[in-house]
């Protein structure tokens, strides 16, 4: 995986996915990087008494997988994140296989703007959904920059 889909090659409905097995080790690293050490992510005893009934991953860890799809697959290298909405629907737990999907919803080629519908799933459950706006790479802009 990885590369670039230029805006000239995009079409509405085009989609890409990535999957990642979420582990407690990754949750710990994310907590260290973000500074979010909420015990719902780290303390099984504490987390068992919450509405989730156990340890859950940070919501933004799921969102980071969307970022990976946008930055590596669609549009990929050269994309610039402009905006993102996120709606967290269900928890992600250690041991879950998380699947992130982005799909082109709108293309404004003259401005190089692309709107993509984004979601993350665990099995048949939507755990996150939202929409991203990106500045997409273009062959024309690349040629101008090289000239």
Under the banding of pLDDT at 50, 70 and 90, the label for residue 142 is low
The CA-based diameter of the chain, rounded to the nearest angstrom, is: 62
The whole-model pTM stands at: 0.91
pLDDT of 1 above 90: no
Q: What is the pLDDT of residue 50?
A: 96
Does residue 129 lie in a domain region?
yes
Number of domains the chain is built from? 1
CATH number for the domain that contains residue 95? 3.10.129.10
Establish if 49 belongs to a structural domain: no
Q: Which neighbouring-strand residues pair with 49?
A: none
Does some domain include residue 82? yes
Which domain, by its residues, includes 126? 7-21+58-146
pLDDT-derived band at 92 (thresholds 50, 70, 90) equals: very high
- Report which of 7, 146, 141, 144 is spatially closest to residue 76, judged by C-alpha positions: 7
Do the domain assignments include residue 102?
Answer: yes
Q: Is residue 112 part of a domain?
A: yes
Q: Is residue 111 part of a domain?
A: yes
Q: What is the band of 147 on the pLDDT scale with cuts at 50, 70, 90?
A: low
Q: What is the mean pLDDT of residues 31-39?
A: 96
């Amino acid at each position: 995986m990885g590369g670039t889909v230029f805006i000239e090659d995009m079409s509405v409905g085009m989609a890409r996915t990535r999957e990642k097995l979420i582990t407690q080790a990754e949750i710990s690293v994310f907590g260290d990087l973000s500074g979010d050490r909420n015990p719902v992510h780290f303390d099984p005893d504490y987390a068992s008494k919450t509405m989730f009934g156990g340890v859950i991953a940070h919501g933004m860890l799921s969102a980071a997988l969307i970022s990976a799809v946008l930055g590596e697959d669609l549009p990929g290298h050269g994309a610039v994140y402009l905006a993102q909405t996120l709606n967290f629907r269900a928890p992600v737990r250690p041991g879950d296989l998380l699947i992130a999907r982005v799909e082109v919803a709108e293309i404004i080629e003259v401005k190089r703007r692309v709107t993509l519908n984004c979601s993350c799933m665990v099995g048949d459950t939507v755990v996150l959904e939202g929409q991203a706006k990106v500045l997409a790479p273009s062959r024309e802009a690349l040629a101008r920059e090289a000239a």
